[in-house]
Structure 1
Amino acid sequence: MPETSSPILRFGIVADPQYADIEPNVALDRYYAGSLAKLTEAVSVFNATELDFVVTLGDVIDHDWKSFDDILPIYETLRHKRLFLLGNHDFAVPPQHLGDIPARLGMPGRYHDFSIGNWRFVILDGNDVSVFSAPPGDPRTALAAGRLRALQAKGAINAQPWNGSLGDEQFAWLSGVLERAEVDGEAVLVLGHYPVFPPNQHTMWDSERIINLLTGFACFKGYFCGHNHDGNFGEVDGRPFVTFKGMVDTESENTFAIVEIFEDRIEIEGFGREESRVLRLQAST
């Protein structure tokens, strides 16, 4: 396809607004209350163009259940479909609300998939097995503690309590989605909160098995995530793994993106601190 071809679809991306009505953490360069103005600016840009949807890659809030009441009305001013992923900070709420977060964000489930044309989008829940996301007494918490201890014993860089992993049920579901997409001739883009590549202190505990699964399918075209506020980029077998920068960082500089998917490439238009990229798509064979 020529470079001047029209995109198949377009969507907006926001990563880690991490809103809270609190003073900034200057040492971390995080200005939590400032995300309301930044998100308002992003919505204005998104509303000025045609998009299929806008997705937030987790950490809508920093903490506190009532923080949702402040930031979600801004999302309601979007004229486009809005989608959310669950981030670790979204679970920093009282225990009685832990099971209510997907519904508060209007999600059909903690993880799910949908298609637009020949493209299938996979929404992962990287908090599935973590030390913070399950109600008291849930066996997943003990499983997560064991996974974390095993990584810590190895001295793994990502052995951090703010990371998480997929449960075996979700992992099997992901494999099934990829298998069906491969048979149906669909292209798959996976969206998660946590990075899986390149390796760093923010990657999922089970990133290796996820990478091996994804790159084993020709239909898998790329992985987009947040969580690492500095952003990142890498490739495995020619497939891009893009980490988008965190909106909560810096006092005044914004960061968000518009993604266009073409037959032969993905173009990311970065705004503010976000980088613009052209990602070549591997042909499915």
Structure 2
Amino acid sequence: MTEQEGQQVPLFSFGVISDVQYADIPDGTSFHGVPRYYRNALVALQRAVSSGWVPAGVEFGIHFGDIVDGFQARDGQEKSEQALSDVLQAFSQLPHPTYHMLGNHCLYNLPRARLNKRLGITPLLDPAAAAEGASYYAFSPHPTWLFVVLDAYDVSLLGWPDSHPRHLQAEALLAQHNPNKEKNSPEGLVGVARRYVKFGGGVSEAQLAWLEQQLQAAKQRSQNVLVCSHLPLLPDTCPPACLLWNYEDVLQLLRQSGVVVATMAGHTHQNGYLVDEAGIHHLVLPAVLETPPGRDAYGTVESGLDISNMTIYE
């Protein structure tokens, strides 16, 4: 711990934001009637970066997925590319990297390989993930910290050709767990079983093995770990339909590792926070898309442990 004028000094700081879901279309509402401010999402992002992250001096940003809204795809891939360019231009106001992950709305707009390239994920990929075309990776902003970014749609109907093994696996899972003809509907499903919907996804066995390796290596290096995912990992931090399909498998690895400080996620468009039985903090971020004009939905985090206050000291 470094002290300066009697106060703790963080090792590093970073910005967090989720579900920008920008689209160059008029405002609308969600399926549940919640207002959505499609064009203002870009304005809110610009303000978050230029008036929030930059003055705070963060070393990097993290966006937790759903960068462009699925409605933008109705106007064709060229419009999706332009919307993505507009959002990435806003992130570029930060003179440091922003790390991204794939959400369902990302995959409604553009192919996975294209997203990996444009979001800067490709050069960060583990060789096994790159060979599979997946989108999980890890980075270390400081010798004492490892950030693990999951691909929550590694097993999914979204983003893969119909004949791809990951698509076929997702198809079988939904056929087993969701009897509805419309697989985006959780109607009739109870509790956490409601997570088996088409707009969800899971991590593959290969990604689980990679995650275990990352956690073991972090333990050997005496590193703290923060796990990032578009889909939440802990029940009661979000509506059940928003959970990662195989969240239990992931939680088991995180808890047994003894090195995971926190997980952070998006997708739900709502705040969520709990500390689990292993003492891991689970934070779910609100959506920029559903934040009224003039208000903000972003945060800055300083390295350490107090995720609940988002001011974290080592």
TM-score (norm 2): 0.80
2:219 corresponds to which residue? 182
1:4 to 3, 7, 20: 7
Closer, same or farther in 2 for the Cα pair 1:135/1:212, shift >3 Å?
same
Aligned to 1:130: 156
Q: Does 1:25 align with 2:28?
A: yes
Structure 1, residues 92-135: CA drift from partner, whole Å, max 9, x if none? Answer: 125xx332111011113311111122100101110110111212
2:143 corresponds to: 117
**Superposed displacement of residue 32, structure 1:** 1.5
Q: Residue 63 of structure 2 is aligned with which of 56, 60, 77?
A: 56
Query: Which of 85, 90, 99 is residue 106 of structure 2 equivalent to?
Result: 90
Alignment of 1:202 with 2:242, yes or no, is: yes
Greater fraction of residues in helix? 2
Distance 1:177 1:93 in 2: 31
Trace 1:161-240 onto structure 2 (pairs within 5 A).
Answer: 161-199=198-236, 200-236=240-276, 237-240=278-281
Residues 150 and 279 of structure 1: CA distance in aligned 2, closer, same or farther (over 3 Å): farther
> Which residue number in structure 2 is paired with residue 43 of structure 1?
49
Give 1:79 deviation, angstroms.
Answer: 1.4
Report if the CA contact (8 A) 1:261-1:267 is conserved. no
**Structure-2 separation of matches of 1:247 and 1:101:** 20
Which of 79-88 and 117-126 deviates more? Answer: 79-88
Q: After superposition, what is the alpha-carbon deviation per residue over 1:10-57, rounded to whole angstroms, capped at 9, x for unaligned?
A: 100010001111122232321111111000100111111221210101
Amino acid at match of 2:137: H
Contact 1:198/1:232 (<8 A) preserved: no
Give the equivalent residue in structure 2 for 1:273: none
Amino acid at match of 1:86: L
Cα distance in 2 for residues equivalent to 1:12 and 1:37: 17
Distance across 2 between alignment mates of 1:69 and 1:184: 38
1:106 aligns with 2:123: no
C-alpha separation between the residues in 1 aligned to 2:272 and 2:89? Answer: 30
Alpha carbons of 1:280 and 1:149: their partners in 2 closer, same or farther (altered >3 Å)? farther
SS at match of 1:201: helix
Query: 1:175-227, CA deviations, whole angstroms, 9 ceiling, x for partnerless residues?
Result: 10001111221111111111011242201010111111111111111101111
Residue 147 of structure 1, aligned match among 155, 160, 173: 173
Q: How does 1:265-284 map to 2 (within 5 A)?
A: 265-267=305-307, 276-277=309-310
Q: Quote the offset at 1:277 in angstroms.
A: 4.7
1:279 is displaced (CA, Å) by 7.1
Partners of 2:36 and 2:209 in 1: how far apart?
Answer: 36
Matches of 1:114 and 1:277, distance apart in 2 = 20
| Distance of 1:176 and 1:36 partners within structure 2 | 37
Structure 2: give runs of 5+ residues left out of the alignment. Answer: 74-79, 126-134, 180-188
Q: Which of 16, 19, 24 is residue 19 of structure 2 equivalent to?
A: 16
Q: Determine which of 239, 256, 262 is the counterpart of 2:298.
A: 256
Distance in 1, matches of 2:194 and 2:310, equals 27
Structure 1, gaps ≥5 residues long = 269-275
Q: Is the 8 A contact 1:166 1:206 kept in 2?
A: yes
| Superposed displacement of residue 142, structure 1 | 1.3
User: Structure 1 residue 280: deviation in Å?
Assistant: 9.4
Partner letter of residue 185 of structure 1? S
Normalised by the size of structure 1, how large is the TM-score?
0.88
Q: Which amino acid aligns with 1:30?
A: R
In the other structure, the counterpart of 2:183 is none
Go from structure 1 to structure 2 and tell me whether the alpha carbon gap of 1:235 and 1:30 turns closer, same or farther (over 3 Å shift): same
RMSD: 2.0
